[in-house]
C-alpha cells in the first residue's frame, strides 16, 4: 500500500499480536476514518488493550501491517499525533495534578503558556480545577482516571486512543465526557475508545466487536441492532459471538 494514500486515520491489515505462543490479536483488519469515534467492544481478554497498545507503538506487531495517519507503525514520529490513555493509569503519584499535566505537555514540546491554557480548560472539563496542586497519590481512583484522560488530551493530538476512559467515573461526569468527546470529534479529530458500558457504545459512530482476538462484527450501532434483530448492543454482541462460536465448530 502507498504510504498516506488511504486517507484513513488508522488502517490495519491482518494485524497479529502474539505473546509467546498465545495469539491475542488475530489477523485484525481495521479502518478508522478521520473525525470519527470508533468503539472497540468485547469481553475481558478479547484483545482490545493489546490492539490499542500496538496502534500507539508500545507493542511491536507480530504480523500484518498497520498505518496511523498514513505512516506505517511502529514509528516514533507518530507518537506526537497520538493521545494515549492507558487502561491502568500511568501517573506520577508523588507529583501534583499540575506537575503531571505539565510533564506530559513538555514531552510533546508545548510551551509553558500553552500548558497553562490547556491545563485550565482540561481541569475544568474533568471537574478538578480545585485540585491542581494536590498530590495525585491523594486522589480517589475515579479522579486519577480523570487526570489521566487530561494528560492524554494536553497536546491536542489528531488521534486519541482511550482505553476505558470512563471506568470508575460517576454517571454525571460520564455524560459530560461524551459531550467533550463529541466536541473533539467536531474539531475533526479521531477517537478510538474501549468501553464495557453498552449505553456509551451507542454514542460511537461505529463499533467493532472483538472476541478472542478476532473482530467478529463491525458497523454503526443501529446497523448492528438491525443485523441481529436485537434492541440493545449487549444482545447484539451475544448474537455475534454465538454465531462466531458456531462457525468455529463447523
Ligand atoms: N503481557 C502479556 N503477556 C501475555 N499475555 C498477555 C499480556 N497482555 C495481555 N495478554 C493476554 O492477551 C489477551 C488479550 O488481553 P487484552 O488486555 O488485550 O484484553 P482486553 O480486551 O483489553 O480485556 P479487558 O476488557 O479485560 O481490558 C488476554 O488473554 C491476556 O491474558
Ligand atoms: Mg483492556
Tell me: pLDDT of 46 over 90.
yes
Cβ–ligand 1 distance for 86 under 6 Å, the answer no
Cα 4 from chain centre? 22
Cβ–ligand 1 distance for 46 under 6 Å, the answer yes
Dihedral angle over CA of 222, 225, 231, 236, nearest 10? -130
**32 is a domain residue:** yes
**65 is a domain residue:** yes
In the reported structure, the alpha carbon of residue 144 is separated from the centroid of ligand 1 by a whole-number distance in angstroms of 22
pLDDT mean over 48-62 = 95
Cβ–ligand 1 distance for 98 under 6 Å, the answer no
In the reported structure, the alpha carbon of residue 49 is separated from the centroid of ligand 2 by a whole-number distance in angstroms of 4
**37 is a domain residue:** yes
| pLDDT for the residue 1 | 44
Residue 250: pLDDT band by 50, 70, 90 thresholds?
low
**69 is a domain residue:** yes
**232 is a domain residue:** no
**51 is a domain residue:** yes
For ligand 1, atom 29, name the residue with the nearest CA.
Answer: 45
Helix (H, G, I), strand (E, B) or coil at 58: coil
In the reported structure, the alpha carbon of residue 212 is separated from the centroid of ligand 2 by a whole-number distance in angstroms of 13
Domain that holds residue 48: 10-193+203-219
Cβ–ligand 1 distance for 48 under 6 Å, the answer yes
In the structure, ligand 2 is a single-atom ion and the residues with CB under 5 Å from it are 48-49, 87
**35 is a domain residue:** yes
Tally of domains within the chain: 1
* pLDDT tens digits, one per residue of 151-179: 999 999 999 999 999 988 888 888 888 98
pLDDT mean over 137-149 = 92
For residue 62, the domain's CATH number is 3.40.50.300
* pLDDT tens digits, one per residue of 81-113: 999 999 988 899 999 999 999 999 999 999 999
Cβ–ligand 1 distance for 208 under 6 Å, the answer no
Residue 147: pLDDT band by 50, 70, 90 thresholds?
very high
For residue 213, give the ligand 1 atom closest to its CA.
14
- Find, among 206, 242, 188, the residue nearest to 30 by Cα: 206
Cβ–ligand 1 distance for 167 under 6 Å, the answer no
Global pTM reads 0.93
In the chain, the percentage of residues whose pLDDT exceeds 90 is 78
| 60 C-beta neighbours (distance < 10 Å), count | 10
Q: How far is Cα 46 from Cα 212, in angstroms, rounded to an integer?
A: 5
Tell me: pLDDT of 12 over 70.
yes
Tell me: pLDDT of 31 over 70.
yes
pLDDT mean over 55-62 = 94
* pLDDT tens digits, one per residue of 209-241: 999 999 999 999 999 999 999 999 999 999 998
Tell me: pLDDT of 245 over 80.
no
**239 is a domain residue:** no
For residue 42, give the ligand 1 atom closest to its CA.
21
Amino acid at each position: 500500500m502507498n504510504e498516506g494514500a488511504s486517507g484513513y486515520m488508522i488502517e490495519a491489515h491482518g494485524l497479529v499480536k502474539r505473546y509467546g505462543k498465545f495469539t491475542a490479536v488475530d489477523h485484525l483488519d481495521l479502518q478508522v476514518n478521520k473525525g470519527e469515534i470508533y468503539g472497540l467492544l468485547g469481553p475481558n481478554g478479547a484483545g482490545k488493550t493489546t490492539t490499542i497498545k500496538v496502534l500507539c507503538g508500545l507493542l511491536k506487531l507480530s504480523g500484518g501491517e498497520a498505518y496511523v495517519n498514513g505512516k506505517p507503525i511502529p514509528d516514533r514520529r507518530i507518537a506526537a499525533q497520538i493521545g494515549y490513555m492507558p487502561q491502568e493509569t500511568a501517573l506520577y503519584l508523588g507529583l501534583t495534578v499540575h506537575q503531571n499535566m505539565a510533564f506530559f505537555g513538555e514531552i510533546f514540546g508545548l510551551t509553558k503558556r500553552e500548558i497553562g491554557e490547556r491545563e485550565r480548560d482540561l481541569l475544568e472539563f474533568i471537574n478538578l480545577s480545585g485540585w491542581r496542586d494536590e498530590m495525585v497519590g491523594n486522589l480517589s481512583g475515579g479522579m486519577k482516571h480523570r487526570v489521566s484522560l487530561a494528560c492524554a488530551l494536553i497536546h491536542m493530538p489528531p488521534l486519541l486512543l482511550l482505553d476505558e476512559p470512563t471506568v470508575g467515573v460517576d454517571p454525571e461526569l460520564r455524560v459530560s465526557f461524551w459531550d467533550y468527546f463529541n466536541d473533539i470529534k467536531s474539531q475533526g479529530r479521531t477517537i478510538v475508545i474501549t468501553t464495557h458500558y453498552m449505553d456509551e457504545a451507542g454514542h460511537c459512530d461505529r463499533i467493532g466487536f472483538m472476541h478472542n482476538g478476532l473482530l467478529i462484527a463491525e458497523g454503526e450501532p443501529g446497523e448492528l441492532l438491525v443485523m441481529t434483530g436485537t434492541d440493545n448492543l449487549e444482545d447484539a454482541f451475544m448474537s455475534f459471538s454465538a454465531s462466531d462460536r458456531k462457525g468455529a465448530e463447523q
